[in-house]
Amino acid sequence: MGGKPAAGGGRWVEVPPERLERWLAGFTERHGEGRTDVAADVVTVHGADGAIAECHAPFPPLVIGVRDPLEALVTHTATDRRVGVLLVRLGGYAAGIFEGTRLVVSKVDTRPVHGRNKAGGWSQQRFARRREGQARQLTEAAAAVAERVLLPEAGTLDAVVLGGDRAAVDTTLENRTLAPLRQLAVERFLTVPDPRRTILEATPEAFRAARIRVAP
Protein backbone atom coordinates (compact mmCIF):
# COMPACT_ATOMS: atom_id res chain seq x y z
CA MET A 1 0.00 0.00 0.00
CA GLY A 2 2.86 2.41 0.78
CA GLY A 3 2.76 5.36 3.12
CA LYS A 4 3.03 5.47 6.90
CA PRO A 5 0.40 3.89 9.17
CA ALA A 6 -2.06 6.43 10.58
CA ALA A 7 -3.62 6.47 14.03
CA GLY A 8 -7.23 5.49 13.68
CA GLY A 9 -6.52 3.34 10.66
CA GLY A 10 -5.35 3.78 7.12
CA ARG A 11 -2.04 5.26 6.02
CA TRP A 12 -0.45 8.64 5.47
CA VAL A 13 0.87 9.65 2.09
CA GLU A 14 2.53 12.91 1.13
CA VAL A 15 1.66 14.27 -2.30
CA PRO A 16 3.64 17.16 -3.82
CA PRO A 17 1.74 20.06 -5.43
CA GLU A 18 2.74 18.99 -8.91
CA ARG A 19 1.03 15.62 -8.51
CA LEU A 20 -1.94 16.51 -6.29
CA GLU A 21 -4.59 17.10 -8.97
CA ARG A 22 -3.67 13.85 -10.74
CA TRP A 23 -3.60 11.95 -7.41
CA LEU A 24 -7.11 13.13 -6.50
CA ALA A 25 -8.42 12.19 -9.95
CA GLY A 26 -6.86 8.76 -9.59
CA PHE A 27 -8.48 8.26 -6.18
CA THR A 28 -11.91 8.95 -7.69
CA GLU A 29 -11.22 6.62 -10.61
CA ARG A 30 -10.25 3.79 -8.25
CA HIS A 31 -13.00 4.23 -5.66
CA GLY A 32 -15.86 5.91 -7.49
CA GLU A 33 -17.23 9.40 -7.03
CA GLY A 34 -18.83 10.24 -3.68
CA ARG A 35 -19.18 13.41 -1.67
CA THR A 36 -16.55 15.93 -0.55
CA ASP A 37 -16.57 17.40 2.96
CA VAL A 38 -14.69 20.46 4.23
CA ALA A 39 -13.79 21.05 7.88
CA ALA A 40 -11.25 23.68 8.92
CA ASP A 41 -8.13 22.99 6.86
CA VAL A 42 -9.07 19.45 5.85
CA VAL A 43 -10.84 18.37 2.66
CA THR A 44 -12.16 14.81 2.86
CA VAL A 45 -12.99 12.97 -0.35
CA HIS A 46 -15.36 10.01 0.02
CA GLY A 47 -15.24 7.26 -2.59
CA ALA A 48 -18.41 5.45 -3.62
CA ASP A 49 -16.95 2.25 -2.15
CA GLY A 50 -16.45 3.78 1.32
CA ALA A 51 -12.78 4.71 0.96
CA ILE A 52 -11.75 8.17 2.13
CA ALA A 53 -8.89 10.55 1.39
CA GLU A 54 -8.50 13.03 4.23
CA CYS A 55 -6.43 15.85 2.72
CA HIS A 56 -4.56 18.17 5.09
CA ALA A 57 -3.45 21.37 3.40
CA PRO A 58 0.03 22.73 4.06
CA PHE A 59 0.32 26.26 5.44
CA PRO A 60 -3.19 26.75 6.80
CA PRO A 61 -5.64 28.37 6.72
CA LEU A 62 -7.20 26.90 3.62
CA VAL A 63 -9.70 29.36 2.13
CA ILE A 64 -12.40 27.68 0.07
CA GLY A 65 -14.80 30.53 -0.63
CA VAL A 66 -17.15 29.80 -3.55
CA ARG A 67 -14.68 27.56 -5.35
CA ASP A 68 -14.80 23.80 -5.65
CA PRO A 69 -13.02 22.45 -2.53
CA LEU A 70 -10.63 20.24 -4.50
CA GLU A 71 -9.74 23.07 -6.87
CA ALA A 72 -9.12 25.34 -3.87
CA LEU A 73 -6.93 22.67 -2.24
CA VAL A 74 -4.82 22.20 -5.38
CA THR A 75 -4.40 25.96 -5.88
CA HIS A 76 -3.53 26.52 -2.21
CA THR A 77 -0.95 23.72 -2.20
CA ALA A 78 0.70 24.91 -5.41
CA THR A 79 1.09 28.52 -4.22
CA ASP A 80 4.72 29.61 -3.94
CA ARG A 81 5.58 31.02 -0.52
CA ARG A 82 8.53 32.61 1.20
CA VAL A 83 9.35 30.13 3.95
CA GLY A 84 12.01 30.05 6.63
CA VAL A 85 13.39 26.66 7.68
CA LEU A 86 15.25 25.83 10.88
CA LEU A 87 16.63 22.33 11.41
CA VAL A 88 18.47 21.36 14.60
CA ARG A 89 19.86 18.04 15.77
CA LEU A 90 22.73 17.22 18.09
CA GLY A 91 24.90 16.68 15.02
CA GLY A 92 24.40 20.11 13.51
CA TYR A 93 21.95 22.78 12.40
CA ALA A 94 20.73 24.54 9.29
CA ALA A 95 18.74 27.69 8.63
CA GLY A 96 17.50 28.86 5.27
CA ILE A 97 14.90 30.86 3.39
CA PHE A 98 13.04 29.48 0.39
CA GLU A 99 11.13 31.31 -2.30
CA GLY A 100 8.97 28.51 -3.63
CA THR A 101 11.48 25.67 -3.99
CA ARG A 102 14.53 27.92 -4.43
CA LEU A 103 16.89 28.30 -1.49
CA VAL A 104 17.90 31.98 -1.50
CA VAL A 105 19.96 32.23 1.70
CA SER A 106 21.26 29.63 4.13
CA LYS A 107 23.75 28.73 6.83
CA VAL A 108 24.63 25.13 7.66
CA ASP A 109 27.10 23.83 10.23
CA THR A 110 28.00 20.53 11.86
CA ARG A 111 28.78 20.32 15.54
CA PRO A 112 28.97 16.76 16.89
CA VAL A 113 27.74 15.94 20.37
CA HIS A 114 29.25 12.75 21.74
CA GLY A 115 26.99 9.82 22.51
CA ARG A 116 26.42 8.35 25.93
CA ASN A 117 29.25 6.72 27.85
CA LYS A 118 28.55 3.16 28.99
CA ALA A 119 31.11 3.33 31.78
CA GLY A 120 29.80 3.96 35.27
CA GLY A 121 30.80 6.09 38.23
CA TRP A 122 32.76 9.32 38.10
CA SER A 123 33.79 8.80 34.47
CA GLN A 124 30.16 8.58 33.38
CA GLN A 125 29.22 11.74 35.29
CA ARG A 126 32.11 13.66 33.74
CA PHE A 127 31.13 12.45 30.28
CA ALA A 128 27.49 13.45 30.88
CA ARG A 129 28.54 16.97 31.90
CA ARG A 130 30.68 17.21 28.79
CA ARG A 131 27.82 16.04 26.61
CA GLU A 132 25.41 18.54 28.19
CA GLY A 133 27.91 21.32 27.58
CA GLN A 134 28.31 20.34 23.93
CA ALA A 135 24.54 20.19 23.45
CA ARG A 136 24.13 23.64 25.05
CA GLN A 137 26.82 25.11 22.81
CA LEU A 138 25.13 23.62 19.75
CA THR A 139 21.68 25.02 20.52
CA GLU A 140 23.19 28.41 21.36
CA ALA A 141 25.00 28.41 18.01
CA ALA A 142 21.80 27.35 16.23
CA ALA A 143 19.90 30.18 17.90
CA ALA A 144 22.57 32.66 16.82
CA VAL A 145 22.30 31.47 13.21
CA ALA A 146 18.49 31.66 13.30
CA GLU A 147 18.80 35.19 14.66
CA ARG A 148 21.20 36.15 11.89
CA VAL A 149 19.59 34.38 8.91
CA LEU A 150 15.85 34.19 9.67
CA LEU A 151 14.97 36.87 12.19
CA PRO A 152 15.76 39.93 10.00
CA GLU A 153 13.42 38.49 7.34
CA ALA A 154 10.60 37.47 9.71
CA GLY A 155 8.36 40.25 8.42
CA THR A 156 8.67 38.91 4.85
CA LEU A 157 8.07 35.24 5.66
CA ASP A 158 4.76 33.46 5.13
CA ALA A 159 5.74 30.73 7.58
CA VAL A 160 8.58 29.02 9.41
CA VAL A 161 9.10 25.26 9.19
CA LEU A 162 10.95 23.47 11.99
CA GLY A 163 12.62 20.09 11.92
CA GLY A 164 15.31 17.74 13.20
CA ASP A 165 15.09 16.76 16.86
CA ARG A 166 12.14 18.34 18.63
CA ALA A 167 13.88 18.74 21.99
CA ALA A 168 16.88 20.42 20.37
CA VAL A 169 14.62 22.75 18.38
CA ASP A 170 12.59 23.65 21.46
CA THR A 171 15.77 24.48 23.39
CA THR A 172 17.04 26.60 20.51
CA LEU A 173 13.81 28.59 20.37
CA GLU A 174 13.86 29.33 24.10
CA ASN A 175 15.92 32.38 23.12
CA ARG A 176 13.51 35.31 23.66
CA THR A 177 14.70 37.18 20.60
CA LEU A 178 13.38 34.36 18.40
CA ALA A 179 9.75 34.85 19.49
CA PRO A 180 8.73 36.17 16.03
CA LEU A 181 9.94 32.89 14.49
CA ARG A 182 7.99 30.82 17.02
CA GLN A 183 4.85 32.75 16.12
CA LEU A 184 5.33 31.93 12.42
CA ALA A 185 6.06 28.23 12.98
CA VAL A 186 3.64 25.77 11.37
CA GLU A 187 2.43 22.69 13.20
CA ARG A 188 4.03 20.23 10.79
CA PHE A 189 7.47 19.16 12.09
CA LEU A 190 10.05 17.64 9.75
CA THR A 191 11.90 14.59 11.02
CA VAL A 192 15.24 14.70 9.23
CA PRO A 193 18.75 13.28 9.77
CA ASP A 194 21.70 15.48 10.65
CA PRO A 195 21.10 18.77 8.81
CA ARG A 196 23.44 18.94 5.85
CA ARG A 197 22.98 21.32 2.96
CA THR A 198 21.46 18.55 0.81
CA ILE A 199 18.96 17.83 3.60
CA LEU A 200 18.01 21.52 3.83
CA GLU A 201 17.67 21.83 0.04
CA ALA A 202 15.28 18.85 -0.01
CA THR A 203 12.87 20.16 2.64
CA PRO A 204 10.40 21.75 0.16
CA GLU A 205 9.48 18.22 -0.96
CA ALA A 206 8.06 17.70 2.52
CA PHE A 207 6.77 21.10 3.65
CA ARG A 208 4.96 21.88 0.36
CA ALA A 209 3.23 18.50 0.16
CA ALA A 210 -0.37 17.80 1.09
CA ARG A 211 -0.58 15.11 3.78
CA ILE A 212 -3.37 12.68 3.01
CA ARG A 213 -4.77 9.97 5.26
CA VAL A 214 -6.14 7.21 3.08
CA ALA A 215 -8.55 4.65 4.56
CA PRO A 216 -9.49 1.89 4.66
pTM for this predicted structure: 0.88
Q: Which pLDDT score is estimated for 1? A: 44
Asked if 41 and 139 sit in the same domain, the reply is no
Asked if 105 and 195 sit in the same domain, the reply is yes
Asked if 104 and 124 sit in the same domain, the reply is yes
Helix (H) or strand (E) holding 180: helix 179-184
Asked if 63 and 157 sit in the same domain, the reply is no
Q: Residue 7 above 80 pLDDT?
A: no
Asked if 122 and 15 sit in the same domain, the reply is no
Q: Which pLDDT score is estimated for 67? A: 82
The whole-angstrom separation of Cα 127 and Cα 117 is: 7
Determine the structural domain holding residue 59 and report its residue range: 4-80+209-215
The whole-angstrom separation of Cα 56 and Cα 211 is: 5
DSSP assigned state of 157: -
Q: Which pLDDT score is estimated for 66? A: 76
Count of structural domains within the chain: 2
Tens-digit pLDDT profile for residues 64-83: 887 899 999 999 999 999 99
Asked if 11 and 52 sit in the same domain, the reply is yes
Asked if 177 and 87 sit in the same domain, the reply is yes
Asked if 23 and 64 sit in the same domain, the reply is yes
Query: What mean pLDDT is reported for the chain?
Result: 91
Asked if 13 and 108 sit in the same domain, the reply is no
Tens-digit pLDDT profile for residues 172-197: 999 999 999 999 999 999 999 999 99
Q: Which pLDDT score is estimated for 91? A: 87
How many residues does the structure list for the chain? 216
Picking from 27-41, 52-66, 129-143, 148-162, which range would have the lowest pLDDT averaged per residue? 129-143
